[in-house]
Each structure stands twice: as C-alpha cells, then as structure tokens.
Amino acid sequence: MIKRERLNIIMGMLQQKPTVTVNELANNLDASTSTIRRDLLTLQSEGKVLRSYGSAELSSSDNIELSYLFRKQEHEREKQTIAEIASTFLGNNQALFIDSSSTASFLAPYLAPLENVIVITNGLRVAAALDNIPSVKTYLTGGALKYRSGSLLGETSIEYVDDFNADLFFFSGVGVTPGYVFMSSQRQSVLKREMVARARKSILLVDHSKFGKRGFYRLMPTNRVAAVITDAKPAADFMTFAQKSDIEVLYDE
C-alpha cells in the first residue's frame, strides 16, 4: 500500500472515531508502528491531525491555537468594531490586564489619548503596539514564548501577574455559551484565570462567530464576566442568560 492510500485510510478512521491509537492503525493497515508514526507526522505537518503519545485525533479550530497573524486577519473588521465599543470602558488612571488575543490588540490606538494608564500583558504584539504611546506604562509578563502566537506563558508569567491588581481585564476566547467561556490552550487558560482573579472586572471580547462554540478547555463560567462585547446581537438564549446574570452585552446596532 502506498503512503497516500494509508493517509486517506487514517483520515477516514479518524472521522469515524475521535481518537485512534498507533497500534489500532498499525493493525488495520497491516503496517509497522514506526510507519504509522511517520504517517501521523505527515498528517500533522499538513494540519490535519494532532498527535499525542501513542494516539492521534483530528485537528479542529476548537483544539488548535491558530497563529497570531491568522487570528488578526480573521474577522478583522468585526474586531475593530469590538475594540471601538470596548474603548468606552477606558479612562485615565486605570490599570489594565490585556491578554495576547488579536481582538484585544485592536484596543491599543484607543489608549493613546489617555493619561496615566498601566497595561500588563502577556502579548508581545500588544506590547509592541503600545511602545510608541508615552502615556501608557506597559509591563510584559515574561515567560516562555509560544510558537507563532505572540504569547508569553508558563509559571513565570503567572507569578508576574500575581504581583498586580487591575481595574479591568480585556480578553477573548475561542467560544462562549451561557455556561462557559472556552479556550483552545490549557496554558492560556491558566494565565487568564489568574488575570480574572486579579482584576476588578473582566470584559470578554468576541465576534459573532464565537457564540455557541465550545473549545477543549473551560476558562471560566460565563456568569463571572462583567460585560460581553461583540459585533452583532447574540441569539435570544444568550441575551436572556445575560440579563438574568447581570452581564452587560454591548454590540454594534
């Protein structure tokens, strides 16, 4: 059996079953485990599967943290709208946590007219966008740089955040439901939970495509968010939940 035939069969098996082991694939394809591992490496390089020790699963937007450049270009107009609405929360003499999300990075121009603002972020590109704004004192968390994401993560970043308190935390996620806000990365979730704990209010910035979506990691119950800012009115079930939970929902009308 040629390699491409094996790859097609592997993809077919993964579409029938969420996770398959290397041994299962080897038995079904009558191939060695080393051959199967090389096949999975090929599929992973093509962005089709995620490998873990001894098994593989289909990749999806729910369990892959996309590159910063891709995220910034996706729904860019909507993110600009969200940032404009979010700017109504900004004022002089504030301390802000801003995550490394592409959505939150659009806030940077709205900080320029303000005075005596402190920003603590784990986003390299957020910090770079603030570099030419003299009225903003920017603190970068430190930590391990996650490949292509522009995010600093790990124990160092968590310990750094623990030294600060903030008025507001602006952040995004891969999905939101009336139950939870979701992330694609466990390491991102751990750091953002620390920021939530150290901020007086947390403000979720998500475009319309994120409503009803679930990711692999639950960041926090949605009812802990003070406000949700988006580009279009969410569905009735979310609006009802938000009203009952005293969550402010702002969107482009």
pLDDT in tens, 52-104: 768 888 765 444 444 444 444 455 788 889 999 999 999 999 999 999 988 88
Calculate mean pLDDT across residues 24-42.
88
More confident residue, 47 or 195: 195
Closest listed residue to residue 65, CA positions, set 169, 148, 155, 142:
148
Measured from the Cβ of residue 22, the count of other Cβ atoms closer than 10 Å reads 20
pLDDT at 60: 56
pLDDT in tens, 161-204: 999 999 999 999 989 999 999 988 888 899 999 999 999 999 99
pLDDT at 75: 58
Measured from the Cβ of residue 151, the count of other Cβ atoms closer than 10 Å reads 27
C-alpha to C-alpha distance for 240 and 236, rounded to whole angstroms: 6
Predicted TM-score of the model (pTM): 0.72
Q: What is the DSSP letter of 223?
A: G
Distances (CA, A) of 249 to 81, 150, 214, 246: 14, 28, 19, 9
Q: Residues of the chain with pLDDT > 90: what percent?
A: 54
Closest listed residue to residue 198, CA positions, set 72, 64, 95:
95
Cα of first residue to Cα of last residue in the chain, in angstroms, is 57
User: Model confidence at 245, in pLDDT bands (50, 70, 90)?
Assistant: very high
C-alpha to C-alpha distance for 59 and 61, rounded to whole angstroms: 7
Q: Determine if residue 246 is left, alpha or beta; phi over 0 gives left, psi from -120 to 50 gives alpha, anything else beta.
A: left
